Homo-oligomer: A and B are copies of this chain.
Amino acid sequence: MEKANLYKNMNIYLDLAVEAHDLLRGQVESEVSGIKRQTETLPEATVTTITITNAQGEKELGRPQGNYITIDAPAIKDNNYEAHKKIAKILAKHLGKLFDFREDTSLLIVGLGNWQATPDALGPRVVEKILVTRHLFHYTPEEMEGQMRKVSAISPGVLGLTGIETAEIIRGLVEHVKPDYVIAIDALAAGALERIGTTIQLADTGINPGSGIGNHRKGLNEQTLGCKVIAIGVPTVVNAAVIAHKTIEELFGQIETEPGLANFYNAQNEKALMKVMQKALSPFQNNLMVTPKEIDDLIEQTAKIIANSINMSVHPGISASNFETYLH
């Protein structure tokens, strides 16, 4: 009755690499070769970098090789501008490390998700706040030079609104705009409520839906787009199955002093627990999401932090010193 298997069977995918790694660690005895983990503790945030270095790591963690940086900053969900500024600077610093800028580097910012559904609207809300400059290079190239980089931005919508796979839209666009980098922002599903409003994940491997490896067709990554793809993700929902599962765990945790029960719990197979969870989530099953009531404010605050980190790390004319100038 291992959590990792249960989640797999329930089709619960953990978007955060750090959560997937925690799950894996609970499952295997020793460290997996091909996965490195490093933690940096700052006053405002804990930054965990997981690096997948070979095919075994890829397979074990269900993600392509590359870097997954998790910024864990509980103050994201506070209404505290000074703290947000510091978190934005931390994000900007780590974002900056992923770029290798030339004078004329160009970037396309992609806001994934559905602007009509609050918890999924993070990407489009970030795009609204991005300093778009690409078109200005036609009109006033000398004013832009050295101050700004070529930035374009789009929120392509979701399959239900357009009838077109988002990856198709972006691929077509990249062939014409030919950016050096794509930065894709997306709302994520977390494996724990504590992640909501506290975590930002940065990855240099792009967006790789589903199992992450194998099915590359729908991904936004260097292989499909022909340019570096940096993904910024923020957990905004938890699958309701996670709540159901955590309830079961807490229940048996509570009663573990009862030897009979502990035996009983250990004897349960995954199938029985899945059936419990499926009934508890009927008739929507895996199609339910859990959000805190104040999700709209959380999305807006996080969108500001991310948009400003991007604006700051991308344009040389916006140095950290006058950063607040652009936090609007």
Contact = CB atoms under 8 A, between A and B. Distances in A.
Contacts of A293: 117, 287-289
7 contacts: A82-B325, A132-B160, A135-B164, A154-B157, A171-B176, A249-B280, A288-B291
A91 to B, nearest CB: 17
B152 A135 contact: no
A164 B193 contact: no
A285 B292 CA distance: 9
Contacts of A75: none
Contact of A328 (B156, B280, B296, B304): B304
A288 B289 contact: no
A129 to B, nearest CB: 10
Could you tell me the dominant secondary structure of chain A's interface residues?
A: helix
Interface stretch (A14-22, A92-100, A254-262): A254-262
A264 B255 contact: yes
Contacts of A193: 281-284, 288
> Which of A173, A324, A325 counts the most chain B CB atoms within 10 A?
A173
Indicate how many identical chains form the complex: 4
A153 interface: yes
Given A169-B154, A280-B246, A328-B327, A163 B81 contact: no
B248 A283 contact: no
Interface residues of A, number: 79
Contacts of A159: 135
Interface stretch (A1-9, A56-64, A270-278): A270-278
Given A177-B164, A254-B272, A287 B292 contact: yes
Interface string A156-183: 1101111111001101111111000000
Nearest to A251: B276
Contacts of A291: 288-289, 291
Which of A118, A157, A281 gathers most chain B CB within 10 Å?
A118
